């Protein structure tokens, strides 16, 4: 199935009431003018993407968006790939990310499905060309058409293109010819141009072949049907050392209902096993307990798409707090400093009586305290509630939730489904609830 995410986002934006869009836009303009700061818009691609993630990738993608908002990620993402130290690599791993990632996608980065137009891609490490129906013949035809078949010259100890050779000759004696590969066990020696060449034979691993050739293959063409499949995600796949990855053999030729029932039954049996058998890490002091749902979860709708919208709202609220809080704290600090400086001036003004000085100080404090209150935590909540047009109660709940998920690293439980006891928290804190999203 092919996914057109931009079309999906376009359709999503049209599901919103135009009044809501205009309201948010007008509120952003008003508060940006009031505070002289830049604020994000709720209906920008940043938050629409949070609603548009496909169901099969949703949990991983949401967890990644949480990781992306952590202080550790913001520091590590600025370190160039070729300057990463062992310490950086360890921190990247602790965040659940692969150390092989050269760039970390940001909120506006869309990673499309290319051939990859498919939901899954095959794990080529487990197959050779002989596992494909007519595999060797198809390989020869592809490389012949691409003008990438070579012979090894005994005279010059170098590879030469087979410009005038008939494809039938190659088919009859494939082991006399070579193709360039991304990896090979055969390394040519000599001082001419070096190619990574592989002799054409039926046991060539698929993993070393041209990616464009692999993209012509389909899962249905693999002879041996015990195949490892990996999903394509639009966000990097997260993995933690304490994650339990279970391989379940599934016959995809069965009816959808039977496959779903089979997987759900496997999950049910696995959960029973987890509850009755101690996890290996328990043996070294980390005692696990079954994931617990937060009380605030009741604030999120049960219907899936509405829930996705509420989660996007929660991210938006968290991001607004992250912008407004430091700004408000700085304004409070500045006002307090001004107040103290003016109090000192009044105290040193001995032209006025003691009573006059005390009255002036009291009046000054009242004025400044009133101004400082305009930048309080409660005022932030009130402003966010107005900007989002979401009740103050939900704003408080959503922010509390997201702060736990992101700042206290609870996103980990989205992937692992485990949480430690209070006595033995994770090295990078506690985690999340399996069914929340």
Stronger pLDDT, 365 or 417, i.e. the higher one: 365
Tell whether the model's pLDDT for residue 419 goes beyond 80.
no
Q: Choose the weakest-confidence range: 115-119, 156-160, 362-366, 433-437.
A: 433-437
| pLDDT top residue among 248 and 146 | 146
Are 128 and 203 a contacting pair, CB within 8 Å?
yes
For 431, other C-beta atoms within 10 Å of its C-beta total 26
pLDDT, tens digit, 9 for 90 and up, residues 10-36: 666 667 778 888 999 999 999 999 999
For the chain, the structural domain boundaries read 123-221, 297-420
> What's the pLDDT at 127?
80
Question: For 371-414, how does the pLDDT look when each residue is reduced to its tens digit (9 = 90+)?
Answer: 999 999 999 999 999 999 999 999 999 999 999 989 998 888 88
Instruction: Tell me the HSE value of 404 on the side-chain side, using a 13 A CA sphere.
Output: 17
Please state whether 359 falls in left (phi above 0), alpha (psi between -120 and 50) or beta: alpha
Query: Can you tell me the mean pLDDT for 222-250?
Result: 74
pTM of the complete model beyond 0.75: no
């Amino acid at each position: 199935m092919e996914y057109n995410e931009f079309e999906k986002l376009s359709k999503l934006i049209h599901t919103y009431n135009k009044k809501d869009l205009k309201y948010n836009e007008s509120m952003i303009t008003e508060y940006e003018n009031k505070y002289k700061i830049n604020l994000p818009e709720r209906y920008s691609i940043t938050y629409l993407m949070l609603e548009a993630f496909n169901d099969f990738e949703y949990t991983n993608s949401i967890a990644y968006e949480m990781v992306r908002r952590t202080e550790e990620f913001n520091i590590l993402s600025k370190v160039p790939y070729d300057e990463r130290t062992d310490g950086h690599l360890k921190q990247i791993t602790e965040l659940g990310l692969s150390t092989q990632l050269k760039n970390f996608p940001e909120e506006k980065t869309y990673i499309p499905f290319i051939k990859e137009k498919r939901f899954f891609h095959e794990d080529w490490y487990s197959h050779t060309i002989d596992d494909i129906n007519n595999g060797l013949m198809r390989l020869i035809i592809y490389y012949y058409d691409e003008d990438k078949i070579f012979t090894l010259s005994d005279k010059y100890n170098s590879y030469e293109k087979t410009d005038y050779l008939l494809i039938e000759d190659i088919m009859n004696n494939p082991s006399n010819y070579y193709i360039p590969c991304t990896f090979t066990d055969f390394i040519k020696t000599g001082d001419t141009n070096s190619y990574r060449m592989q002799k054409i034979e039926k046991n060539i691993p698929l993993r070393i072949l041209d990616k464009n050739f692999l993209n012509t293959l389909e899962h249905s063409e693999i002879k041996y049907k015990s195949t490892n499949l990996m999903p394509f995600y639009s966000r990097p796949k997260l993995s933690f050392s304490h994650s339990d990855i279970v391989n379940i053999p599934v016959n995809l030729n069965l009816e959808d209902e039977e496959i779903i029932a089979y997987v759900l039954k496997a999950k049910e049996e696995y959960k029973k096993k987890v509850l009755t058998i101690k996890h290996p890490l328990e043996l070294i002091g980390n005692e696990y307990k079954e994931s617990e749902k937060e009380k605030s979860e009741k604030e999120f709708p049960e219907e899936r798409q509405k829930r996705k919208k509420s989660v996007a709202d929660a991210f938006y609220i968290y991001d607004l707090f992250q912008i407004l809080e430091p700004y408000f704290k700085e304004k409070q600090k500045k006002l307090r400093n001004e107040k103290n400086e003016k109090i000192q001036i009044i105290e040193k003004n001995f032209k006025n009586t003691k009573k006059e000085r005390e009255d002036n100080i009291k009046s000054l404090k009242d004025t400044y305290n009133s101004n400082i209150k305009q930048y309080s935590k409660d005022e932030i909540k009130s402003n966010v509630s107005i900007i989002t047009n979401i009740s103050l109660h939900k704003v408080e709940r959503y922010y509390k939730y997201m702060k736990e998920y992101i700042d206290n690293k609870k996103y980990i439980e989205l992937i692992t489904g485990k949480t430690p006891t209070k006595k033995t928290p994770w090295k990078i804190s506690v985690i999340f609830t399996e069914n929340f999203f």
